[in-house]
A and B are shown apart, each in its own frame.
Chain A
Amino acid sequence: MSTNAQKKGFGATLWDFLTTVDHKKIAILYMIAGGFFFLVGGLEAMFIRIQLAVPNNDFVGAGLYNEILTMHGTTMIFLAAMPLLFGFMNAVMPLQIGARDVAFPFVNALGFWLFFFGGVFLNLSWFLGGAPDAGWTSYASLSLASEGHGVDFYLLGLQISGAGTLMGGINFLVTIINMRAPGMTYMRMPLFTWTTFVASALILFAFPALTVGIFLLMFDRLFGSNFFVTAAGGNTVIWEHLFWIFGHPEVYILVLPAFGIFSEIIPVFSRKRLFGYSSMVFATVLIGFLGFMVWAHHMFTVGLGPIANAIFAVATMAIAVPTGIKIFNWLFTMWGGSIKFTTPMHYAVAFIPTFLLGGVTGVMLAAAAADYQYHDTYFVVAHFHYVIVGGVVFAVLAGTQFYWPKMFGTMLNEALGKITFWLFFIGFHLTFFIQHFLGLWGMPRRVFTFIEGQGFETANLVSTIGAFFMAVATVVLLINIIITSIKNEKVGNDPWGDGRTLEWAIPSPPPFYNFKQLPLVRGLDPLWIEKMEGKKGMTPAEPLGDIHMPNNSFTPFVISFGLFVAAFGAMYRLDYNWGLPVLILGMAITFGSMFYRSVKDDHGFHIHKEELTDDNDKGVKA
């Protein structure tokens, strides 16, 4: 009810966002927070590349460099890529399946605030004695030896934000299973919804492994246990297993939604339905499944023995098959189509060869015996940036341009968008292609410098120059966002003109209840079907009736804040007397507010039929 587009004071808007349970606003929160952390992680990347521009550089020192490289990886994966994708999932998925919100709006808000406070906690380490410095993998022997509280920030921060991610994943699963509009069968779901579904299932199974790992490591560091202390009978290789049992599926948690975004963009701008829809779905599920069978390919040099290495090598190669299926399906979606090269389509087209390169180096890395050479070198750095930047970041940039009108009701500038694209695309390949060779020439990864005369100079300089292109591209994107927001030229339901799925059947931005009447879905690409039959919009599946909506709530914020406070207590418990009381206080805040939520009845509210007819007119005007 507070959601109407009337002008509101800043305070009211802020309060609205702090208490919102609307998936579209939570999406915006994810985008803002994820975007901010993306800039932070990008800045860290620039420090890394400046330091490595020339040999024996002392732009940042050895210890600080390790903090930067750790925070770059951790921030980009957990605090930028995941939340940005969660932003798109929140913004788009419920609309795609014709739902009025996610299954648990309150939990959705809670998930966001947990992620947010975890991320803030982790980044406060910069100001409170130093950031973690054991790499985003935080291998146990090194992370246990790491002095100060850096690694504790990592362990506590990721536990808090990880809980949020897990909740988000479960919420999406339930939403997709239970809240599809009439006629929206599984095999009519858009690919982005499918990939959200599979990625959420991966979150459900993968995150607990990470949680267990960091929980045990936290006990080793803060409460005197010995799970990973070799001298006391612990074992550090177990950490590596736990981490990668999470870590490898994490790659697919990131890249499947990216595949999903491209699988939406390509059909729209080719004006052609996705080629081989069922095999795309099958490939998505298969990738998700195989994703759990291959974690030890990150550990080929640990000494697991030839049997384990051989099995994991072959399993890893197998993943190339479903991925290949996808690449060809995208190509053949465009084949015979009528391709319009908008900015999102630029990214989608560039994604195919870029990701292909990341994929083929993946197969090369899977050859265990050869991986003994690639492992922990710049070859690997190049490979995963091709996959994660070429896949995920391209998808995020494409999705931003593509869904911006649906989220904010106005289009990002296309010309500036293309400038961003070209700068980013050129910069990306300039930065990372040559790193394959650096690795093959013998340059290990995670080095704060390299010594003159080993043949690494030119390639590193080239790489650094490329990074600046990407930085400029990001600045152009920010300018684009600012200009667009100021102009704020409103657009209609289907601003790209060729929308195929349900989200393009409702106003941009959608009213807070999304669908006045739930739509009747008659096949894959439901809006396209109606359009081809000459209709303007969807046929409703129900008569106009009252809509039940949840109330806003400040409780998710407070629950998360309590854990944020408790984390400080847990960390400083051994250093200061106030540690333990603060730990207890934080826990009390969290459990108290959970208790409050449990006993207080909140029935939500109803929007009445009559108001809806009103609102509809407003929606069209807006």
Chain B
Amino acid sequence: MKKLAKWRLFSLITLMALILSGCGKPYLSTLQPAGEVAKSQFDLMVLSTLIMVGVIIIVTIIFLIVLFRFKRKDESIPKQVEGSHKLEIIWTVIPILLLLVLAVPTVLETFKLADVSAMDKKDEEGNTEALVINVRANLYWWEFEYPNEKIVTSQELVVPTDQKVYFNLKSSDVKHSFWIPAVGGKMDTNTDNINKFWLEFDSKGAEAAGELFYGKCAELCGPSHALMDFKVRALPSDDFDQWVATMQGIEEPVQADTAKAQEGQEIFNNSCIVCHAVTPANTTPEAARQAPNLTNFGDRAYVAGILENNEDNIKKWLTDPETVKPANKMTDTYGDLTPEQIDALAAYLSGLKVQK
């Protein structure tokens, strides 16, 4: 008896595992929605799938009957039927009704997801009450500016959970598309205009995803389109406020503390600072922000959005970015570096942390 129960549990667990693996990774899959937007989209997917499965079942039944019952058995000529008004009306009207069932929520959701009126509510200083983030897509990296907080970060978007976050989206070179599958559908970053939308990051979903969601570029943009990933760190709102405050506190580049890192900082100030900022203020004009802001680079989970962040991978990136991300905009721009210089830079870069 007990054995049987065990077996049942076991098979239940395998079944669950199968279903879960059929749902993809919690940090990446649209089938494990971790926010209001993704949830309502998921619901719409489920609704449409259910309706469609209904249609498929009906067609399949007729199909199977046809295949097995009407196989040629003799050479007689079957009755030539012109059609049937009754049947034809049935299979015109029923689909129309089914589509209405789908069309109504589709329209409602489409309007709901496009509601960014909160972005227009501003206080005397011109700041919005809601959290707004300006996303700028570049070949092949992402910049996130917090206009109210007056700070900039890159590659890793930091957001508070359980509240609506509003986005302004644009591109500075060719068209890209901003997509965080587990949190909500994508929107294009155009070269012509600023697109606006909102997302909400669920704290429970964030927990399941290890606080780190994966984001992707969804519009073909050049050779490294496939590697134009970013990450999203979704923090409880207190932690988020804390993070903002720490970032705002960094007004000057932080001095490296070990000798090796100091050496690295010096090289950095000679060769890299033209492109990479190490202070978060958003005062430099956009056009001058040609590369990811590295103020909190050491806190990021990934280098260039795709390599796990450790010294080896930083060195790999600095030695030859081209092999990591073909056609990226950093290759061949900073002169030749000796292995020692690369070691020193790696030591410096991995020390760029604002969170302890």
Chain A partners chain B: yes
- Report yes or no: A62 in contact with B327, Cβ–Cβ below 8 A: yes
B126-141 residues at the A interface, CB under 8 angstroms: none
A362 closest partner in B (C-beta): B52
- Report yes or no: B192 in contact with A235, Cβ–Cβ below 8 A: yes
- Report yes or no: B29 in contact with A440, Cβ–Cβ below 8 A: yes
Alpha-carbon distance between A65 and B192 when the two chains are bound, in angstroms: 28
Give the residue of A135, A309, A341 whose beta carbon is less than 8 angstroms from that of B71.
Answer: A341
Does A589 sit at the interface, judged by CB under 8 A? no
- Tell me which of B51, B112, B188, B191 has the highest count of chain A C-beta atoms within 10 A of its own C-beta: B191
Give the residue of A273, A305, A332 whose beta carbon is less than 8 angstroms from that of B114.
Answer: A305
Majority SS at the chain A contact face: helix
Produce 1/0 per residue, A255-290, CB < 8 A to B.
000000000000000111101111100000000000
Alpha-carbon distance between A158 and B95 when the two chains are bound, in angstroms: 38
B32 closest partner in A (C-beta): A441
- Report yes or no: A377 in contact with B218, Cβ–Cβ below 8 A: yes
Q: Which residues of A contact B81 (CB under 8 A)?
A: 272-273, 275, 332, 336
Q: Which residues of B contact A324 (CB under 8 A)?
A: 55, 91-92, 95
Does A174 sit at the interface, judged by CB under 8 A? no
A334-366 residues at the B interface, CB under 8 angstroms: 334-341, 349, 352-353, 356-357, 360-361, 363-364, 366
Give the residue of B60, B184, B220 whose beta carbon is less than 8 angstroms from that of A135.
Answer: B220
Alpha-carbon distance between A321 and B38 when the two chains are bound, in angstroms: 29
The segment from B171-179, B232-240, B264-272 that touches chain A is B171-179
Does A465 sit at the interface, judged by CB under 8 A? no
B60 closest partner in A (C-beta): A353
* Contact A363 to B83, CB < 8 A, known contacts A142-B174, A306-B110, A369-B185: no
Interface residues of B toward A: which range?
A: 35 or more
Produce 1/0 per residue, B50-67, CB < 8 A to A.
011001100110110111
The smallest C-beta distance from A384 to any residue of chain B, in angstroms, reads 15
The smallest C-beta distance from A84 to any residue of chain B, in angstroms, reads 27
Does B301 sit at the interface, judged by CB under 8 A? no
Q: How many contacting A-B pairs (Cβ < 8 A)?
A: 286
* Contact A375 to B28, CB < 8 A, known contacts A141-B191, A142-B222, A368-B106: no
Q: Which residues of A contact B77 (CB under 8 A)?
A: 271, 338, 532
- Report yes or no: A444 in contact with B78, Cβ–Cβ below 8 A: no
- Report yes or no: A373 in contact with B45, Cβ–Cβ below 8 A: yes
Does B31 sit at the interface, judged by CB under 8 A? yes
Does A15 sit at the interface, judged by CB under 8 A? no
Q: Which residues of B contact A236 (CB under 8 A)?
A: 175, 190-192
- Report yes or no: A444 in contact with B84, Cβ–Cβ below 8 A: no
* Contact A364 to B173, CB < 8 A, known contacts A332-B87, A372-B186, A373-B41: no
Q: Which residues of A contact B216 (CB under 8 A)?
A: 442, 444
Alpha-carbon distance between A444 and B188 when the two chains are bound, in angstroms: 13
- Report yes or no: A272 in contact with B78, Cβ–Cβ below 8 A: yes
* Contact A370 to B41, CB < 8 A, known contacts A66-B222, A363-B52, A442-B182: yes
Does B356 sit at the interface, judged by CB under 8 A? no
Q: Which residues of B contact A310 (CB under 8 A)?
A: 106-107, 110-111
The smallest C-beta distance from B109 to any residue of chain A, in angstroms, reads 4
Q: Which residues of A contact B28 (CB under 8 A)?
A: 441-442, 454-455
Does A95 sit at the interface, judged by CB under 8 A? no
Majority SS at the chain B contact face: mixed
- Report yes or no: A340 in contact with B91, Cβ–Cβ below 8 A: no
* Contact A441 to B30, CB < 8 A, known contacts A134-B220, A360-B52, A369-B185: yes
- Report yes or no: A442 in contact with B217, Cβ–Cβ below 8 A: no
Alpha-carbon distance between A81 and B87 when the two chains are bound, in angstroms: 34
- Report yes or no: B78 in contact with A338, Cβ–Cβ below 8 A: yes
Alpha-carbon distance between A377 and B181 when the two chains are bound, in angstroms: 10
Give the residue of A142, A352, A356 whose beta carbon is less than 8 angstroms from that of B220.
Answer: A142
A298-318 residues at the B interface, CB under 8 angstroms: 301-303, 305-306, 309-310, 313-314, 317-318
B173 closest partner in A (C-beta): A145
Alpha-carbon distance between A444 and B186 when the two chains are bound, in angstroms: 11
Q: Which residues of A contact B188 (CB under 8 A)?
A: 301-303
B219 closest partner in A (C-beta): A376
The smallest C-beta distance from A449 to any residue of chain B, in angstroms, reads 5
A441 closest partner in B (C-beta): B24
- Report yes or no: B218 in contact with A321, Cβ–Cβ below 8 A: no
Alpha-carbon distance between A301 and B195 when the two chains are bound, in angstroms: 10
Q: Which residues of B contact A3 (CB under 8 A)?
A: none
Give the residue of B65, B187, B196 whose beta carbon is less than 8 angstroms from that of A301.
Answer: B187
Does B103 sit at the interface, judged by CB under 8 A? yes
Alpha-carbon distance between A110 and B338 when the two chains are bound, in angstroms: 63
Alpha-carbon distance between A377 and B28 when the two chains are bound, in angstroms: 13
Produce 1/0 per residue, A50-79, CB < 8 A to B.
000000000001110110000000000000
The smallest C-beta distance from B24 to any residue of chain A, in angstroms, reads 3
Does B48 sit at the interface, judged by CB under 8 A? yes
A318 closest partner in B (C-beta): B99
Does B96 sit at the interface, judged by CB under 8 A? yes
- Report yes or no: B92 in contact with A321, Cβ–Cβ below 8 A: yes
The smallest C-beta distance from A131 to any residue of chain B, in angstroms, reads 14
The segment from B200-208, B223-231, B329-337, B347-355 that touches chain A is B223-231
> Could you list some 16 contacts between A and B, CB below 8 A?
A61-B223, A275-B82, A279-B88, A302-B188, A309-B110, A314-B107, A331-B59, A334-B70, A356-B55, A368-B106, A371-B185, A373-B181, A447-B225, A448-B223, A448-B225, A454-B25
3 tightest A-B contacts by CB?
A372-B185, A441-B24, A447-B226
Other A-B contacts than A314-B103, A360-B56, 14 sampled, CB-CB below 8 A, are: A63-B223, A139-B219, A236-B190, A318-B99, A320-B99, A324-B91, A325-B91, A335-B66, A339-B66, A363-B52, A372-B184, A376-B186, A377-B218, A440-B31
Chain B contacts to A: CB under 8 angstroms: 21-25, 28-31, 38, 40-41, 44-45, 48-49, 51-52, 55-56, 59-60, 62-63, 65-67, 70-74, 76-84, 87-88, 91-92, 95-96, 99, 102-103, 106-107, 109-114, 171, 173-175, 177, 179, 181-182, 184-188, 190-193, 195-196, 214, 216-227, 229, 306, 326-327
